[in-house]
Amino acid sequence: MSLSALGSLLLASVLLVGSTTASAAAASDPSLFPRRTSSSESSAQQACTHLQSALGPIASATGNAALYNFTVHNAWNLQNTLYQPTCIVFPRAAADVQTAMRAIYTAGSHYAVQAGSHSGMQGWNTIQDGVLISFSQMQNVSYDASRDSITFEPGIHWGNATAQLAQYGVAPVGGRVGDVGTGLLLGGGVSFLSPSYGFAADNFISVDVVLVDGRLVTATATNQYADLFRALKGGANRFGIVTRYEVRAAHVGTPEETPFYGGLVLYNATESANVALVKAVAKYVKEVTDPNASMVTTLTTAIVNGLPQQYTWSFLMYNGSSLPPSIFGDFLAIPALDSQIGALTWTRVLPVGDEPSPGAATNSLRGFTQHFGGSALHGDEELFLNAYTRYKNFTETFMSAESAPSSGLNLTTLWFTPVLASQIEQGRLNGGNSMLSGSQTTPYAMAMLAEQFNAGLQEIPASVQDGMDLWLEQVPRSEGLPIFVNECDAKQNAFASYGEYEFLKATYMKYDPGRYNVEHQQGPMGL
């Protein structure tokens, strides 16, 4: 049953499910997810009982179980489908979130928030023995031409936002995959529009935030909550629950217009071609200053019929009528197996609905255990070659025909996402963010090692985790650069790498002096 069909069954906003719904996997192996104490279970039950009374029952037992199960099993990372919340709240307005947060806070319950449910981090968007707040019923989006701004609720995905705003020729500076949700913004967020507009979060105009004690505040760059506003630009889920975003509109053209040029280039993944590509990325990061240019490059190894296969590609894009050779010549000179270069509408760059995006390798695949780990590199060619060599060592160790069956890996990808000087400068012009210090001007690239495991594999083998940890150790971030919290390993202290770390810590203590959030919700460490 679709989410919209299930939504029509609801008479109110709370779904209460008792402990008898625990999955067979959970019952047989509690180590699959963090178990809470009986005290925390009792606190969650207290909060849920209050919420059922305050927000009302659902339509029927059938709808109750179906919506609960859909929400639990809709998480992108398979590991996050193993958790069993004590109850799930489906708010329809900020007031419902306030009610939920007050009940959670008063009861001392653990909790989690789920927007697009696309997090790769285990436990960051779900909860065992606690209250889950799901924004699946809050997906409104609108464009105000007089303010040239877009307002949306946290449950919308970028593909759906693209579809609804296409008629106006505008889009939010959001994700690069249509299936991703608004949680991306709170981690900073990168877009194919970022060289011109900055990080996605740099485009905030105002945000409505429910604090841990249930208060609702509106934060802007100039009001009394200006510090909270800045902290939310990279502070992830640690500072409160955002119930409304107003952001600057990016003018990207209607579906009939083609202001962009570029597309996907699939390379012949020989060693020489891979090395040439990695060098091209390093040169691009170091030398390109044109804010109209955008790209992402990945090197992927996949298990196909039991054997490792390499797939190497770049998505190249320019806001103009061609790809300037001075910017993209090195990429276009590498032998290609296939090239899909041409004029682009924005709805082709970020397709509407669930269509695959040309700039995303796996797009919206759900039902697999996923893992991320991130670094950040200055434009030194040797740093990029080292990241590639270490990636190659990792894949040769765990994805050979002999080792893949025991490692459980079916896909590994090394991503390079440039952060140009123009992106950094645009963020500064928009008031700055918590990730970069005001003195940061040097361009860099986000480097991410991403893994996907075989269907049904719920726990990452220890040896593979050790191998992923080794890659992070061997590919350290360049001094002064922030790790992208949306793409980090849960053990990485991304906040400590921020240029505004001291500001972030002080702001957190101001708005959550009892440290309720970090003690009752999983998420980034460091606060």
Q: Map 127-145 to HEC letters.
A: CCCCEEEECCCCCCEEEEC
518 within domain boundaries:
no
387 within domain boundaries:
yes
Q: Indicate if 120 and 164 belong to the same structural domain.
A: no
Domain boundary among 134, 168, 201: 134
> How far is 162 from 158, CA to CA, in rounded Å?
6
527 within domain boundaries:
no
Looking at the whole model, is its pTM more than 0.95? no
Q: 């002999």: which residue's tokens?
A: 402
Cβ-Cβ contacts under 8 Å for 258 (sequence gap 6 or more): 343, 344, 345
Reported for 395-400, long-range contacts at CB under 8 A and 24+ positions apart, including other chains, are: 395/301, 395/308, 397/467, 398/463, 398/464, 398/467, 399/301, 399/303, 399/308, 400/308
Identify whether the C-beta of residue 282 lies closer than 8 Å to the C-beta of residue 297.
no
523 within domain boundaries:
no
Q: 């790790």: which residue's tokens?
A: 483
526 within domain boundaries:
no
pLDDT class for 36, splitting at 50, 70, 90? very low
Helix (H, G, I), strand (E, B) or coil at 180: coil
pLDDT of residue 376: 98
157 within domain boundaries:
yes
Q: Indicate if 369 and 230 belong to the same structural domain.
A: no
> How far is 432 from 356, CA to CA, in rounded Å?
33
Q: Is the pLDDT of residue 7 over 50?
A: no
- Total domains in the chain come to 3
Cβ-Cβ contacts under 8 Å for 88 (sequence gap 6 or more): 14, 15, 17, 67, 68, 71, 72, 131, 132, 133, 134
521 within domain boundaries:
no
Q: Indicate if 461 and 422 belong to the same structural domain.
A: yes
Question: Cα torsion for 313, 317, 323, 329, to the nearest 10°?
Answer: -40
Identify whether the C-beta of residue 427 lies closer than 8 Å to the C-beta of residue 419.
no
> How far is 325 from 465, CA to CA, in rounded Å?
41
Q: For the chain, give the mean pLDDT.
A: 89
Centre a 10 Å sphere on the Cβ of residue 339 and count the other Cβ atoms it contains.
14
Check residue 219 and give left, alpha or beta (phi > 0: left; psi -120 to 50: alpha).
Answer: beta
81: domain CATH number?
3.30.43
> How far is 430 from 116, CA to CA, in rounded Å?
26
pLDDT of residue 4: 30
Among 110, 116, 107, 152, which Cα is nearest to 134's?
116
327: domain CATH number?
3.40.462.20
Tell me, letter by letter, the H, E, C secondary structure of 312-356.
EEEEEEECCCCCCHHHHHHHHHCCEEEECCEEECHHHHCCCCCCC
pLDDT class for 15, splitting at 50, 70, 90? very low
Q: Indicate if 197 and 326 belong to the same structural domain.
A: no
522 within domain boundaries:
no
Q: Indicate if 427 and 294 belong to the same structural domain.
A: yes
pLDDT of residue 423: 98
Cβ-Cβ contacts under 8 Å for 158 (sequence gap 6 or more): 172, 174, 175, 177, 178, 179, 180, 181, 184, 350
pLDDT class for 352, splitting at 50, 70, 90? low
204: domain CATH number?
3.30.465.10
Q: Indicate if 275 and 399 belong to the same structural domain.
A: yes
Q: Indicate if 433 and 313 belong to the same structural domain.
A: yes
**pLDDT 10s digits, 217-249:** 999 999 999 999 999 999 999 999 999 999 999
Domain boundary among 134, 150, 178: 134
pLDDT class for 41, splitting at 50, 70, 90? confident
pLDDT of residue 182: 94
Specify the higher pLDDT residue, 25 or 223: 223
Q: Indicate if 242 and 375 belong to the same structural domain.
A: no
Q: Indicate if 493 and 507 belong to the same structural domain.
A: no
Tell me, letter by letter, the H, E, C secondary structure of 440-473.
CCCCEEEEEEEEEECCCCCCCCHHHHHHHHHHHH
Residues spanned by the domain of 288 = 260-497
Q: Indicate if 72 and 125 belong to the same structural domain.
A: yes
Q: Indicate if 128 and 227 belong to the same structural domain.
A: no
Q: Indicate if 223 and 308 belong to the same structural domain.
A: no
pLDDT of residue 10: 26
- What six digits make up the tokens of 10? 């609801």
Average pLDDT over residues 167-196: 95
The listed range with the strongest mean pLDDT (32-36, 45-49, 158-162, 324-328) is 324-328
Average pLDDT over residues 367-373: 94
Q: 């963020």: which residue's tokens?
A: 427
